[in-house]
């Protein structure tokens, strides 16, 4: 397919007009203010969820910008996706004047979110105890590698915890641990941070406005992901095998190679589906075979059943097999690449992709990019939470936020000149400034 921002033919099914939730009135988290010190994926995911739900999320960045803005390769999509619907405040928090600006924002905030190393926020004067002394109703959300315990001093990454938490073992072939193909722990860790923040907001409303501390962690998130395999061992006494060689719970649950080198995933997971499948492809002999009379029997017969089905289906195209499964309500899936989803007919028809402009920075080769991005995967009253603004340019909201704090234009200009803050179109030189801790 063509790049998302390149001209091309109109899609066959143009997007329907998006109905925002709610059609009138405020979003669920309207009026909630979040100040976040986050980078990479985990912390920004938490803020993105809260922002999509209507919270005002203020992203505090160093004068040189969040380092995630500069990532290339597999990291090039991090900042554009996980920082939409946010405001950017660029400030040197090591300068007392910059630190005071942040503390003044926190004093008016509901949530403070961070995902730096343990102790980093304390060193800057933004530790949970200090912030809640300033604002007793504040909810402090910390995203870490590990919850407090023997491992908490370690530096964790998504891939690190996938390896030590059993997920890489379950994903790759035996002897070849393989990380999952997305930042699953970072994204889910941010989701649990957001869930914790929402729970704390609800609890605060019931206990007199007292703030709470929320912690989310990569390792514990990963353990939750593999918990089903832990329970499998507890119940059966047999260790779970890696996914490529697992003992499947279903007789037919595989990727099949078809004509022309095409592939398709097919699933037949009940006895009723097995009868429909056999009738659809005229496999009367397989339907009558007593060795295949139930799903559990088909699981035991997989060693010969799957090769047999592979041989019988090999001459058909993916479109032909898909049409049969579609017409009969049987589960199937094409093997799709991420870039193919820009043209997915369901996403286009339902408004699941929102138009967005990405700011010019290193990851976009220095020029703005017009593309589409997936919305949160939920609907409220049948309506989607639409994208209100793309990821912010560095310091895009600095002036407005400082003005809201009562800092006049002359003072703002002085802070810019002293390189305490940076603003879009401002005079500070960001290249002279370092990164946050």
Residues in the chain: 437
Reference 186, options 49, 322, 303, 9; nearest CA is 49
Q: What is the pLDDT of residue 174?
A: 87
DSSP letter for each residue of 300-317 = HTHHHHHHHHHHHHTTS-
Q: What is the pLDDT of residue 437?
A: 43
- For residue 33 the two structure tokens come to 């203010």
For residues 92 and 172, what is the distance between their CA atoms, to the nearest angstrom? Answer: 44
Q: What is the pLDDT of residue 20?
A: 61
Q: What is the pLDDT of residue 273?
A: 97
- For residue 399 the two structure tokens come to 């002036």
Ordered domains of the chain (ranges, CATH): 33-226+354-432 (3.40.50.10540), 251-338 (3.30.1540.10)
Per-residue pLDDT of the chain (437 residues; tens, 9 = 90+): 334 443 333 333 344 444 566 666 689 999 999 999 999 999 999 999 999 999 999 999 999 999 999 998 989 999 999 999 999 999 999 999 999 999 999 999 999 999 998 889 999 999 999 999 999 999 999 999 999 999 999 999 999 999 999 999 999 988 999 999 999 999 999 999 999 999 999 999 999 999 999 999 999 999 999 999 999 999 999 999 898 777 788 999 999 999 999 999 999 999 999 999 999 999 999 999 999 999 999 999 999 999 999 999 999 999 999 999 999 999 999 999 999 999 999 999 999 999 999 888 766 777 888 999 999 999 999 899 989 999 999 999 999 999 999 999 999 999 999 999 999 865 444 333 334 44
């Amino acid at each position: 397919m063509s790049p998302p921002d390149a001209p091309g033919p109109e899609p066959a099914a143009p997007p329907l007009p998006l109905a925002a939730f709610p059609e009138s009135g405020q979003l669920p988290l309207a009026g909630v203010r979040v100040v976040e010190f986050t980078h990479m994926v985990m912390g920004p995911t938490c803020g993105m969820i809260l922002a999509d739900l209507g919270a005002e999320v203020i992203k505090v960045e160093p004068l040189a910008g969040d380092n995630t803005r500069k990532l290339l390769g597999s990291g090039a999509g991090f900042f554009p996706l996980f920082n939409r619907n946010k405001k950017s405040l660029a400030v040197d928090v090591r300068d007392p004047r910059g630190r005071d600006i942040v503390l003044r924002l926190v004093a008016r905030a509901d949530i403070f979110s961070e995902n730096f190393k343990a102790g980093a926020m304390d060193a800057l004067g933004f530790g949970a105890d200090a912030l809640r002394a300033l604002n007793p109703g504040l909810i402090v959300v910390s995203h870490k590698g590990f919850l407090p315990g023997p491992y908490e001093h370690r530096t964790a990454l998504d891939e690190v915890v996938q390896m030590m938490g059993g997920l890489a073992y379950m994903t790759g072939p035996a002897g070849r641990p393989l990380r999952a193909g997305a930042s699953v722990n970072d994204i889910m860790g941010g989701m649990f941070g957001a869930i914790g923040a929402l729970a704390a907001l609800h609890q605060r409303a019931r206990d007199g406005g007292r703030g709470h501390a929320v912690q989310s962690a990569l390792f514990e998130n990963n353990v939750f992901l593999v918990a089903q395999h832990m329970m499998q061992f507890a119940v059966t006494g047999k260790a779970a095998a890696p996914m490529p060689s697992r003992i499947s719970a279903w007789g037919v649950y595989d990727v099949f190679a078809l004509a022309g080198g095409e592939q398709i995933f097919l699933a037949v997971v009940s006895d009723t589906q097995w009868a429909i499948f056999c009738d659809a492809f005229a496999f009367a002999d397989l339907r009558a075979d007593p060795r295949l009379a139930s799903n559990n029997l088909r699981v035991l017969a997989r060693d010969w059943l799957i090769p047999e089905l592979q041989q019988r289906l090999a001459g058909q195209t993916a479109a032909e097999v898909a049409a049969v499964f579609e017409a009969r309500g049987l589960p199937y899936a094409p093997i799709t690449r991420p870039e193919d989803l820009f043209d997915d007919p369901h996403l286009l028809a339902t408004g699941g992709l929102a138009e967005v402009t990405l700011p010019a920075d290193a990851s976009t080769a220095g020029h703005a990019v017009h593309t589409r991005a997936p919305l949160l995967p939920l609907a409220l009253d049948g309506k989607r939470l639409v994208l209100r603004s793309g990821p912010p340019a560095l310091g895009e909201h600095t002036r407005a936020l400082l003005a809201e704090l009562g800092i006049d234009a002359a003072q703002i200009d002085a802070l810019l000149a002293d390189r305490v803050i940076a603003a879009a179109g401002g005079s500070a030189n960001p290249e002279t400034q370092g990164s946050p801790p």
